[in-house]
């Protein structure tokens, strides 16, 4: 069940509703919105009686039963799209948002050049990892706080917002000081300690789908962050592991419309990690626009042949500029259909 309190309900009123829910044997999670407190109740009990009793309380605006195991992130709970602000971008609204930049922050020069390149092509958000999850412990692990400082410099130079990965709950506060969006990598999608900490980080979060995770598991992970207090979550399809070896991962393009049916959270497509090969990235990016993603996250590098990580899938400046130009008519159609959809609701 989800229970929305009336606007500006007091702490005592929330406590009374909470107590009533607990009398029916349910466990309670409450999330504070800016104006409204929303309470999630989970467990087994007499749903009908509990709903009736809650609806009769004057402090309660609405009490609804949600059948999906993920409650706060479901469309049943909130039919209208969640919009998330980051710098000058709004993700989940009627602008298609591109995030672009290198896999890793490598040096001041590299990140500043990347940021200028990203902005020139029309991206609103700069990506770049300062904490890198690497398969081998001997590979470059990222510049850590020094990398975050360089991202901040790039933000000040270009006006782009910053998305960067956080790998551990210990680093959440540090990364949140510098980033506009915290990226949770595929390998950490089910790091529950991290997800709980993100509930309190006060920044938007982009949760990447684990390479062996189902869509339902992705939504349950998003539910962790929201249930722990942070409703600003977007999801990212970045390819899953299958028997296919021609691509680094298999881009599960159908995840985008499936997620759009099940959740109000924005959905981003990462064609770079899905493909693993730069020649395939523009086609997958087009597919992402056409199928209704809210945006893309793409790897670009001023000199991909010198990249410390993921060079093979990073677009060079010319390829990135061409991809962004080629996407324009698709994005115009995307915008028309987004505006028409909003008008139809
Ligand atoms: C990345 O974005 O560079 C990255 C490591 O992605 P993923 O977690 O999807 O592998
Ligand atoms: Mn990468």
pTM attached to this predicted model: 0.94
Distance 134 CA to ligand 2 centre (A): 9
Ligand 1, atom 6, residue with closest C-alpha: 185
pLDDT above 90 (res 251): yes
Cα–Cα distances in angstroms (integers) from residue 62 to residues 8, 10, 229, in the given order: 14, 16, 19
Residue 245 neighbours by CB distance under 10 Å: 7
Q: Which residues lie at CB < 5 A from ion ligand 2?
A: 103, 310
Share of the chain above pLDDT 90, in %: 92
Going 338 to 339 to 340 to 345, the CA torsion angle's sign is positive
Confidence category of residue 250, pLDDT binned at 50, 70, 90:
very high
Q: Which-ligand-closest: CA of 270?
A: 1
pLDDT in tens, 111-154: 999 999 999 999 999 999 999 999 999 999 999 999 999 999 99
Residue 273, pLDDT score? 98
| Binding site membership of 248 for ligand 1 (Cβ less than 6 Å) | no
Please state the separation of Cα 65 from the chain's center in Å: 26
pLDDT in tens, 179-225: 999 999 999 999 999 999 999 999 999 999 999 999 999 999 999 99
- Decide: 293 and 256 in contact? Cβ < 8 Å: yes
| Binding site membership of 264 for ligand 1 (Cβ less than 6 Å) | no
Confidence category of residue 6, pLDDT binned at 50, 70, 90:
very high
pLDDT in tens, 324-333: 999 999 999 9
Distance 102 CA to ligand 2 centre (A): 7
**pLDDT (average), residues 93-103:** 98
């Amino acid at each position: 069940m989800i229970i929305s309190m009336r606007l500006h309900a007091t702490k005592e009123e929330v406590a009374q509703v909470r107590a009533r829910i607990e009398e029916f044997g349910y466990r309670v999670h409450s999330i504070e919105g800016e104006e409204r407190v929303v309470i999630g109740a989970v467990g087994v009990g007499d749903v009908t009686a509990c709903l009736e009793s809650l609806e009769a309380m004057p402090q309660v605006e609405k009490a609804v039963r949600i059948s999906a195991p993920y409650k706060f992130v479901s469309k049943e709970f909130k039919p209208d799209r969640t919009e998330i602000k980051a710098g000058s971008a709004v993700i989940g609204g009627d602008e298609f948002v591109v995030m672009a930049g290198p896999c890793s922050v490598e040096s001041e020069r590299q990140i500043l050049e990347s940021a200028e390149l990203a902005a020139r092509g029309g991206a609103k958000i700069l990506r770049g990892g300062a904490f890198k999850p690497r398969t081998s412990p001997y590979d470059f692990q990222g510049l850590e706080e020094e990398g975050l400082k360089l991202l901040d410099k790039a933000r000040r130079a270009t006006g782009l917002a910053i998305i960067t990965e956080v790998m551990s709950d210990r680093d959440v506060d540090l990364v949140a000081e510098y980033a506009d969006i915290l990226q949770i990598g595929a390998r950490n999608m089910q790091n529950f300690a991290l997800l709980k900490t993100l509930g309190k980080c006060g920044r938007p979060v982009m949760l990447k789908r684990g390479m062996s995770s189902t869509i339902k598991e992705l939504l349950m992970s998003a539910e962790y962050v929201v249930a722990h207090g942070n409703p600003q979550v977007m999801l990212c399809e970045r390819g899953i592991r299958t028997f296919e070896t021609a691509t680094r991962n298999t881009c599960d393009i159908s995840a985008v419309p499936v997620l759009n049916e099940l959740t109000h959270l924005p959905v981003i497509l990462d064609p770079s990690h899905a493909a693993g090969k730069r020649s395939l990235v523009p086609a997958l990016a087009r597919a992402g626009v056409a199928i209704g993603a809210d945006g893309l996250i793409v790897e670009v590098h001023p000199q991909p042949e010198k990249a410390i990580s993921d060079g093979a899938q990073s677009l060079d400046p010319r390829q990135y500029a061409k991809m962004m130009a080629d996407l324009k008519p698709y994005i115009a159609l995307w915008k028309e259909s987004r505006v028409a959809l909003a008008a139809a609701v």
